[in-house]
Amino acid sequence: MLKIYDWHMAPNPRRLHIFIAEKGIPVEYVEVGGENVKLADWYLEKYPHALTPMLELEDGTCIGEVPAIWRYLEELYPDPPLLGSTPKEKALVIMWEAFARDDAFYRAGDVFRNTHPAFADRGLPGTKESIPQLPELAARGRAAMARFFKKFDTQLASNEFVAGDHFSAADITTLCAIDFAKWADIHIPPEAKNLQRWYDAVSARPSTKA
């Protein structure tokens, strides 16, 4: 069975949990995080890139980065497609997933990691080095989230899902970003009615509780 090293409560691994639940793929999750916001030492030894989630193949290859794991799983379990079917759909999923990541997911992370006391010396993921918080980045992140809400509300005025007619990985990252932003008390503004309609519909999918 596929073995995935996981930090179940963290926002980034959730992008993978939903993907796996939508496809119904049997996997074994190995918890390496925990309540104390530090990755286990034995995990850092195995995977010095110091990020979760990570898929370990039977030959020992470690595959990190959610879109990389997504691609591997999509090749092995193509149905239902979550990375698009036609060349155009595949491109649009990557494009909108990238917007959700850069405009919202990373920005919610900027706000959270640069304000929350638990990350006082860990302003950046992916390193064991001590990185001081930068409060100005939190302000910039909040402004970016406001732009994101507007941009995605516009997109969802004429599309059922983020990348078009089908639920895809772009919806997953968008949902995870919006829920992550709540940790920093950032919420969908009332005027973003199309985004709210989409959020309510997507949040009702059983996979989002995985």
Q: Note the residues at the interface with a second copy (CB under 8 A).
A: 49, 55, 57, 61, 63-65, 67-69, 71-72, 75-76, 87-88, 90-92, 94-95, 98-99, 102-103, 123-124, 126-127, 129, 131, 134, 136-137, 140, 143-144, 147, 151
Min separation Cβ 92 and a second copy, Å: 7
Min separation Cβ 204 and a second copy, Å: 28
Min separation Cβ 25 and a second copy, Å: 13
Min separation Cβ 99 and a second copy, Å: 7
Nearest to 152 by CA among 194, 121, 109: 194
Q: Do 23 and 77 form a contact (C-beta atoms < 8 A)?
A: yes
| Half-sphere CA count of 72, side-chain side, radius 13 A | 19
3 versus 205: smaller Cβ distance to a second copy = 3
Spatial separation of the C-alpha atoms in residues 207 and 80, rounded to whole Å: 13
Please, which residues bridge with residue 164 across strands?
Answer: 161
Give the Å distances, CA to CA, from 200 to 138, 161, 186, 196.
27, 12, 17, 6
66 versus 208: smaller Cβ distance to a second copy = 66
